[in-house]
Structure 1
Amino acid sequence: MNSLIEQEQQLRVNSSHEEVAKKLIQQGGYVSPNPFIWEDVLVSIVLKKPVLLKGPSGSGKTKLAQTVSHFFQQPMQSVNCSVDLDAESLLGFKTIISKSGETVIEFVEGPVIQAMKKGHILYIDEINMARPETLPILHSVLDHRRMLTNPFTNEVIHAHDNFTVISAINEGYVGTSPMNEALKNRFVSFSIPYLNGEQLKMVMQDTYPSASMQLVDVMLNIGNDLKNQVINGLLSDEAASVRSLLDAIALAEHIPVKRAVQYAIAEKLDDKIERRLVMELVDTWVR
């Protein structure tokens, strides 16, 4: 683990924020919208602190987790939460198999146990979509004990030294519920905002190098307008999704910009007034 600390410290000493951003973009990784998020998440992970990423859809939470996995060359086990998530989905399940001509019961390990034993990253996406009564089984995994008693086998599992937990939530979305305080207090929490300005421009250019500078500039202006309207409360968070904006650029290389934005951004919004507002913003930049 000392080698991980040395890597992180070397990153801070030898690289400016802009240099780190360019390097991560070139590698297809997460780009931090401020000089601190990326480095501070790395420090938290090195210190074995479970990390909670809070932010709107499309802000890059999953990309951040994937980039951490790449940075530490550490495989990632993923859990996608929903109201149907149960202990078996997290820990594993018993099944009947035939072995050497005999029928035996075998336990198939789930993502939590695999990550704990192998020293992988456990990524829990949309953790606030799970039923509150499902997640207390992870309390001992997430605190200083870093252990778990498997209720299906009674095996006591102590986490590998490199075991890491990263969770993500979209706050205030339909189907979500407030996190239990006992669970929330086990995490170090980071708010992940949308990219903007020069960093967003770099991502656009790197993702679609064939896109013209005129198209990139138009999409950047549209993206900034959408973000401002989200801040003003006139548009839903997903209207400013970087993921959707990149989808729009991909389409706009082959079809008119207005239609590209309509398909990639506006049509995803449930509210008719919001869809109309998005297209009105586009009209200010596209003639």
Structure 2
Amino acid sequence: MNNDYQLPENLVSILNEKKSKSPEKFTELVREGGYVPPHIDLLIDAISALSMGKNILLKGPTGAGKTKFAETLSYLFQQPMFSVNCSVDLDAESLLGFKTLTYEEEKQMIDFIPGPVINAMKHGTFLYIDEVNMAKPETLPLINGVLDYRRTITNPFTNEIVTAKDSFNVIAAINEGYIGTVPLNEALKNRFVVIEVPYIEGELLKNLIQSNTKLKDETTIDLFVKLSGDLIEAVYQGKLSEDAASIRALLDACDLSNLIPPRRAIQRSIVDKLDEDREREFIKNLAETLFS
């Protein structure tokens, strides 16, 4: 287990300043990475866990920014990141790599093309496993040894024993309760430190819209922030599914509203993605009220 990860000097100094003074400089650096969390302690805790060689599991609703969170951590640590996108079709080749025919001086040979897990281990970089609970339960145990103190795997395609470099780290993300997902088994879950990632709201969301969309009209931005807050509240009350309050979908609606009316932008980006008529009508009524 890696216990002496060397953080970049600028990150060390800003972390120390955060502890002793104020979070302004830290927030500024984080914003350069693309994700500013609702509570800066989320990022401090994630950085602390990764710096001790622990795996972290980002847990939260769809569109809350988990992937952007992982990319920001990669940026802060100055570490490249290999990614795995989980699905029911995920298999050993998708994780570890595959064999293929190649030619060397007109001689046919079998070569192994490493996958994201092997690449991240050998290069000592971050490995990001997205929607980890979409994978079949029998697939992920293949990398249990990668995720615990051993940091080792025997490549079934080459019989090579691969041990990760010290700077190797694993970040995974999970959306719970969605169609196609399965509960993580305890053996896998126990290999992670869990970081809850809530929705971005209020002033942070306003800043995100201003910096990540083409929408510049402040009045319209404020209305979209209000819309998002109402959608999130409806999710908490059980009136809407989490998909309806996706921040990613909201940003799409903000972009579209530069060229088409906001209500139509909301229709295309949010409403038409939902299956239940009750939810669709709820959001349409909310949009009509706000953007009348």
Query: Does TM-score exceed 0.5, indicating one fold?
Result: yes
Mean Cα deviation higher: 148-157 or 225-234: 148-157
Aligned to 1:20: 26
> Tell me, what secondary structure is at the counterpart of 2:57?
strand
1:35 Cα offset (Å)? 2.5
1:161 corresponds to which letter in structure 2?
A: D
Residue 120 in 1 paired to residue 103 in 2? Answer: no
1:28 Cα offset (Å)? 5.4
1:209 Cα offset (Å)? 6.2
Matches within 5 A, 1:26-175: 27=32, 29-175=34-180
1:208 Cα offset (Å)? 3.4
Name structure 1 gaps, 5 residues minimum. none
> Tell me, what secondary structure is at the counterpart of 2:171?
strand
- Aligned equivalents of 1:22, 1:31: Cα separation in 2: 9
Residue 212 in 1 paired to residue 217 in 2? Answer: yes
> Tell me, what secondary structure is at the counterpart of 1:88?
helix
Cα contact 2:33–2:76 (8 A) shared by 1: no
Structure 1 residues 277 and 19, CA gap change in structure 2 (3 angstroms): farther
- Aligned equivalents of 1:20, 1:279: Cα separation in 2: 39
Aligned to 2:226: 221
- Aligned equivalents of 2:150, 2:129: Cα separation in 1: 19
Cα contact 1:5–1:43 (8 A) shared by 2: no
Cα contact 1:29–1:63 (8 A) shared by 2: yes
> Tell me, what secondary structure is at the counterpart of 2:200?
coil
Structure 1 residues 218 and 10, CA gap change in structure 2 (3 angstroms): same
CA RMSD of aligned residues (A): 1.6
Cα contact 1:21–1:199 (8 A) shared by 2: no
1:78 corresponds to which letter in structure 2?
A: S
Matches within 5 A, 1:163-242: 163-208=168-213, 211-242=216-247
> Tell me, what secondary structure is at the counterpart of 2:101?
strand
1:88 corresponds to which letter in structure 2?
A: E
1:284 Cα offset (Å)? 2.4
- Aligned equivalents of 2:29, 2:231: Cα separation in 1: 27
1:280 corresponds, among 277, 281, 285, to: 285
Identity of aligned pairs, percent?
A: 49
Cα contact 2:122–2:165 (8 A) shared by 1: yes
